[in-house]
């Protein structure tokens, strides 16, 4: 029996996308590959809503995040970065370990800092090179809801604006050109609903200029090499993960067939159904109202519930996979990836399976969760 993969990545992948991986190998230095890569780049630009250069790495999201650091940050460069979870912390630590100097705008997990704290950080520190932000903090289900204002701040101060959109791009608003994002990073296995292993990055003209003039002393994630090979031949410098490129290409086609606006609306409706349904079962959302993610639903366990027992029952008896918490949140929250293919079926099957597990555990569940969630899914197939 098939699993319902309600993880914050990897997520459910359609048969059409899976089948695209079964094509035969081609020469990655041939017209066949050039046609595939061109098609991927054009579609990626549409999904990112950008005319910027695109590089597609054969790596998971971490590789693309690392590329955004090693190609832009040099020793003693000052970087402002909000930190309110595992992925913000990882990114800030990476920047520091690479020789940059982070100015961390911390906030409690589940909350975003006040926007004014960024203005203060910029006023207090001169010569800031870049602002890096994790748009959707996957570890806590928290979305930075004022990315557009941060973009404006960066434009006014002449600072590079870099966004880790790994767990959100394709499922919520992110018009890269409108928001002047210099480097935008995502990955295949989340809202784009492809298998893991492909990570696209968009790079603005001014970030590209910097990268061409200051290439890093690394090989695989050296973006100058990618620009060179693309401009000369529409190729990648190193052997691309061909089956995954085919799958990613098909996944992009599905995104564009649905249309970005409709896709974002669907994610919003499914998230609202999850929050409403789970709340009526007695699970309170972890993130504050104004910071709640439409892609990662993190809720607090009810009193006395055991993470392992709950998630084991859910996966073994109902084949529904959800994630636990990270670090301090381990055992305290569980997280549902409501992304990619997510629709009414996924939401209602997940909720009813959770209700059944609660029943097995002898915990009361208000049966109204069903109609409460369904109402939010009105119009969603």
Ligand X SMILES: Cc1ncc(COP(=O)(O)O)c(C=O)c1O
Residues in contact with ligand X by the rule CB under 6 A: 9, 60-62, 65, 87, 134, 138, 164, 166-167, 187
CB of 162 to ligand X, least distance (A): 12
What one-character DSSP code corresponds to residue 50? -
61 vs 340, which CB is nearer to ligand X?
A: 61
Q: Which residue is nearest to ligand X (CB)?
A: 61
Cα of first residue to Cα of last residue in the chain, in angstroms, is 23
Q: Are 55 and 228 a contacting pair, CB within 8 Å?
A: no
62 vs 315, which CB is nearer to ligand X?
A: 62
138 vs 222, which CB is nearer to ligand X?
A: 138
141 vs 285, which CB is nearer to ligand X?
A: 141
CB of 69 to ligand X, least distance (A): 12
At residue 292's C-alpha, the angle toward residues 381 and 3, to 5°, is 45
Query: In this structure, what are the phi and psi dihedrals at residue 378, rounded to the nearest 5 degrees?
Result: -55, 125
CB of 177 to ligand X, least distance (A): 22
CB of 135 to ligand X, least distance (A): 8
For residue 133, give the 3-state DSSP assignment: strand
Contacts of 275 (CB under 8 A, 6+ apart): 285, 292, 297
87 vs 318, which CB is nearer to ligand X?
A: 87
CB of 57 to ligand X, least distance (A): 11
- Measured between alpha carbons, how far is 248 from 372 in angstroms, rounded to an integer? 35
CB of 42 to ligand X, least distance (A): 24
164 vs 235, which CB is nearer to ligand X?
A: 164
> How would you label 359-368 residue by residue, b for 16+ Cβ within 10 Å and e otherwise?
eeeebebeee
223 in the Ramachandran plot: left (φ > 0), alpha (ψ -120 to 50) or beta? alpha
Six-digit token pair at 88? 């913000």
């Amino acid at each position: 029996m098939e699993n319902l993969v309600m993880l914050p990545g990897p997520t459910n992948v359609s048969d059409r996308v899976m089948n695209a991986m079964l094509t035969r190998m081609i020469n990655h230095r041939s017209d066949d590959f050039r046609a595939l890569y061109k098609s991927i780049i054009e579609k990626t630009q549409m999904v990112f809503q950008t005319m910027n250069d695109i590089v597609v790495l054969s790596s998971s999201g971490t590789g693309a995040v690392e590329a955004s650091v090693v190609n832009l940050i040099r020793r003693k460069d000052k970087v402002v970065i909000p930190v309110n979870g595992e992925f913000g912390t990882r990114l800030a630590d990476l920047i520091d370990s690479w020789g940059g100097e982070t100015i961390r705008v911390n906030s409690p997990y589940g909350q975003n800092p006040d926007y004014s704290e960024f203005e203060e950080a910029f006023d207090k520190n001169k010569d800031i090179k870049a602002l890096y932000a994790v748009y959707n903090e996957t570890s806590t289900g928290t979305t930075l809801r004022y990315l557009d204002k941060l973009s404006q701040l960066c434009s006014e101060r002449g600072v590079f604006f870099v966004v880790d959109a790994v767990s959100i791009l394709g499922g919520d608003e992110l018009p890269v050109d409108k928001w002047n994002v210099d480097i935008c990073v995502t990955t295949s296995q989340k809202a784009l609903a492809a298998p893991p292993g492909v990570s696209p990055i968009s790079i603005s003209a001014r970030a590209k200029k910097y990268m061409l003039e200051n290439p890093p002393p690394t090989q695989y994630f050296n973006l100058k090499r990618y620009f060179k090979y693309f401009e000369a031949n529409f190729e990648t410098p190193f052997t691309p993960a061909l089956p995954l490129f085919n799958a990613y290409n098909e996944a992009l086609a599905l995104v564009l067939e649905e249309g970005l606006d409709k896709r974002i609306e669907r994610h919003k409706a499914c998230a609202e159904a999850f929050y409403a349904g789970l709340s009526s079962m007695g699970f309170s959302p972890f993130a504050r109202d104004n910071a709640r993610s439409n892609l990662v639903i993190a809720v607090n366990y009810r009193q006395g519930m055991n993470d392992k027992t709950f998630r084991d029952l859910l996966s073994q008896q109902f084949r529904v996979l959800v994630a636990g918490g990270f670090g301090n949140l381990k055992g305290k929250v569980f997280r549902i990836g409501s992304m990619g293919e997510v629709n009414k079926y996924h939401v209602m099957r997940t909720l009813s399976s959770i209700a059944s597990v609660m029943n097995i555990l002898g915990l009361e569940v208000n049966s109204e969760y069903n109609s409460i969630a369904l109402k939010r899914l009105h119009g969603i197939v």
